Amino acid sequence: MHRFARAVLISDLHLCTSRPDITRAFHVFIDEVAPRYDALFILGDFFEYWVGDDAATDFHRSIAERLKQCSTHQAVFLMVGNRDFALGEHFANLCGATLLPDPSTVELAEQNWLLSHGDALCTEDVGYQRYRRFIRHPWVLATLRRLPLKWRLALAERLRQNSRQRYQSGRTGLVDVTDSAVVALLNQHPNSHLIHGHTHLADWHHHTTANGQQDRLVLGDWHHYGWYLSVQPEATELHRFAIEDPEFEPAQAGVPL
């Protein structure tokens, strides 16, 4: 198990060339916030889409270089999400990062935490879960990576449109996690609390499980605001900042939710 006294966690940046403001905010975050911690965890949907490590552009390689620099001073971990599930070991190596399976258990500030992207917990969306099981199968993923790049880009655009329509439809029950799925997962990890992203619904929840009370911390997406979670011996805090003008105080307090 990975163990760190101080860690910072982010997810759902959806980095892409059409949102240079988010990329700029990420660079400021890497310069001013990340160095304060022993480890950086990125819990999926780091990029808006990913069609294979062989399709990495100069934009992607510039991001990898920033993470590589970061990895010389702290541990960097990547977990794939529903948008960048095809991200593999080759690109992770360029970043100086370790790929984490979903879910993974780590020890942060002497507390066990279960890390996940979160999409596997949206069990009421039966259609998506069926698609997820299919597309993540190792044979299917290997076949996809061998398809012509033009086909993979077209598929990625279609998946992006489908995802956008899901969120715009207002069917929040289908884009949020299912409480029973969360409790079932926590029951399997009696000494852990859960951290995930995916839903874009930043919050701190308390669940009653067979083990007592276990917490679930949800990371927000980076859009108008950016979010990060700091886990330290002193406190565990969820922070929010403006994407357009990111400012990070030396001892910034967590944003009340």
Write the CATH number for 131. 3.60.21.10
Kindly state whether residue 253 falls inside one of the protein's structural domains: no
Kindly state whether residue 217 falls inside one of the protein's structural domains: yes
Residue 25 has pLDDT above 90, yes or no: yes
Q: Where are the beta strands (DSSP E) in the chain?
A: 3-4, 7-10, 39-43, 75-79, 98-99, 104-108, 111-116, 192-196, 203-209, 212-218, 225-231, 236-242
pLDDT at residue number 252: 46
The token duo for 25 is 């905010």
pLDDT mean over 92-118: 98
Kindly state whether residue 255 falls inside one of the protein's structural domains: no
Kindly state whether residue 65 falls inside one of the protein's structural domains: yes
Kindly state whether residue 254 falls inside one of the protein's structural domains: no
8 confidence band (pLDDT: 50, 70, 90):
very high
pLDDT at residue number 144: 80
Residue 228: name the closest of 239, 218, 236, 217 by CA.
Answer: 239
116 confidence band (pLDDT: 50, 70, 90):
very high
What is the rounded (10 degree) CA torsion for 196, 131, 135, 101? 20
Kindly state whether residue 93 falls inside one of the protein's structural domains: yes
pLDDT at residue number 255: 44
Task: Give the pLDDT confidence of 160-199 residue by residue, as tens digits.
Answer: 676 666 655 555 445 799 999 999 999 999 999 999 999 9
pLDDT mean over 17-31: 97
Better-scored residue on pLDDT, 92 or 247 = 92
Write down the mean pLDDT value for the chain.
90
β-strand partners of 59: none
Q: How many CA atoms lie within 13 A of 197 on its CB side?
A: 29
The SS3 call for residue 23 is helix
Kindly state whether residue 252 falls inside one of the protein's structural domains: no
Kindly state whether residue 166 falls inside one of the protein's structural domains: yes
Which residue segment(s) compose the domain that 89 sits in? 3-242
Name the domain count of the chain. Answer: 1
pLDDT at residue number 169: 56
Task: Give the pLDDT confidence of 76-102 residue by residue, as tens digits.
Answer: 999 999 999 999 999 999 999 999 999
Contact 195, 182 (CB under 8 A): no
